[in-house]
Amino acid sequence: MASVELDFSELSEFNASMLKMVEQDMPNEAKKLMQRAGNALRRDIRTAYKQKTKRKTGNLLRGLSRGRAYIYQGTEYQVRVKNTAPHAHLIEYGHKAVGHAPRKRFNGKYVKGRHIAGKAAKDFNRKFADMADKFVDDLLERGIG
């Protein structure tokens, strides 16, 4: 039985070198790619919030926003997707369960964090790699310069 080994490391190195060249020569194109990636991540987190939360008031979804793409440490673009809802961190990381007013005592129970945004961001890595590959292919089709 014959076995076949495929080595894609050179292809991924080529894609990485293409992305670096685009960042230097065509910064607007790289910035647009990062903006689109941020929008896609925001959509993924939004659908994850809809699926994995009980109460549907909409405040958690309304707090989700994408920032602008910016140059991080002078070498690469970065974009942030964050949730500014006042209770987002409680759902994400967990909290102590406290009673209601007027005493608001801690009743000894903890609510575990659901890590919804963290899991969605981890799943997004594969999708971003596909987006970057498609971006490189489009550049090659158009002609780089």
- pLDDT the model gives residue 108: 81
User: pLDDT tens digits for 61-116?
Assistant: 999 989 888 888 877 788 888 999 999 999 999 998 888 888 888 888 898 999 99
Average pLDDT across the chain, whole number:
82
Name the DSSP class of 113: P
- pLDDT the model gives residue 85: 93
- pLDDT the model gives residue 71: 81
User: pLDDT tens digits for 3-49?
Assistant: 333 344 555 777 677 767 766 777 788 888 889 999 999 999 999 99
Q: The tokens of 89 are what? A: 């961190």
User: pLDDT tens digits for 44-65?
Assistant: 999 999 999 888 888 899 999 8
Burial zone of 92 (CB within 10 Å; 0-12 exposed, 13-18 middle, 19+ buried): middle
